[in-house]
Amino acid sequence: MACAVAWRCAVRLMLENELASELSTKLANKLANKLLTKHPNKSPDNQARKLENKLPALYTFRRCPYAIRARLAIKVSGIRVEEIEVKLSDKPAALIAISPKATVPVLHFADGTVIEESLDIMRWALALHDPDSWLAGRAKDNEDTDTLINTNDTNFKQALDCYKYPDRFPEHTQQHYRDVDAAVFLGALETRLSETRFLFGNNITLADAAIFPFVRQYAAVDIDWFNASAYVALRGWHDAWQASALFQSVMRK
């Protein structure tokens, strides 16, 4: 009896391994993920180890806003990855080898595939599994979503860096960066969030997760000022994100 069970198990393993090797990286990871999450106790240790070894490696830095948004999407998708915390002042050679630009986050698959842009990582994860419909409405709002995220990553990020490090940008005062440069983008977010709970309606979408980590940095520069600011709706959105179990879970040390 024990022998028959072991045999069936071995055949299943063989088929699964064979099947996994035939599938694309995405499907293989999906399969690995399914097996590991649905049958964690049934899997023999060595199978679990084999599949664990196939988990994509996520090079990340805890406080980096780009890495945070990648971790948010990965977390919500339920896909398992092995996180490798990087010291930006001492980057691992393995990271530089797979991604010479050596920014985080970077996702590295067992087959050598590399995704080295945070938004691409988010889209990859959500394309595989999007239980909370973060990509919903993209057909309609696709362009708006991309435009808003792009403005965040360019204009707002620049204003944010100036506000955070005014000594490096002596052209204007810190207050100018906070109240003028950053206000263009934050004002647009405030308008949206005064109308709906999230940036593209009453449910979280990709844009909320992609933008929140940057607003968090802005707020943190002078949290007392932010808490007393006229950004009433933005503050509510920021505070809800900050307190959410999802955000907390990707910030754990």
Ligand X SMILES: N[C@@H](CCC(=O)N[C@@H](CS)C(=O)NCC(=O)O)C(=O)O
* Residues of the shown chain interacting with ligand X in the complex, contacts defined by CB under 6 A: 61, 64, 66, 88, 103-105, 117-119
User: Smaller CB distance to ligand X: residue 104 or 189?
Assistant: 104
Q: CA-CA distance, 122 to 74, in Å (whole number)? A: 7
Q: CA-CA distance, 181 to 30, in Å (whole number)? A: 43
Q: How far is the CB of 103 from ligand X (least distance, A)?
A: 3
Q: How many helices and strands, by DSSP H and E, does the chain display? A: 14, 4
User: Smaller CB distance to ligand X: residue 213 or 231?
Assistant: 213
Where residue 137 falls (left for φ over 0; alpha for ψ -120 to 50; beta otherwise) is left
Q: CA-CA distance, 166 to 169, in Å (whole number)? A: 5
Q: CA-CA distance, 210 to 152, in Å (whole number)? A: 9
Q: Which residue has the tokens 């698959």?
A: 109
Q: How far is the CB of 121 from ligand X (least distance, A)?
A: 8
User: Exposure of 232 by Cβ count < 10 A (0-12 exposed, 13-18 middle, 19+ buried)?
Assistant: exposed
User: In the chain, how long is the greatest CA-to-CA distance?
Assistant: 79
Q: How far is the CB of 250 from ligand X (least distance, A)?
A: 14
User: Smaller CB distance to ligand X: residue 76 or 119?
Assistant: 119
Say which residues have a Cβ less than 8 Å from residue 155's Cβ, sequence separation at least 6: 181, 184, 185
State which amino acid sits at residue 80. R
User: Smaller CB distance to ligand X: residue 74 or 119?
Assistant: 119
Q: How far is the CB of 153 from ligand X (least distance, A)?
A: 7
Q: How far is the CB of 119 from ligand X (least distance, A)?
A: 6
User: Smaller CB distance to ligand X: residue 117 or 222?
Assistant: 117
Q: How far is the CB of 141 from ligand X (least distance, A)?
A: 21
User: Smaller CB distance to ligand X: residue 91 or 129?
Assistant: 91
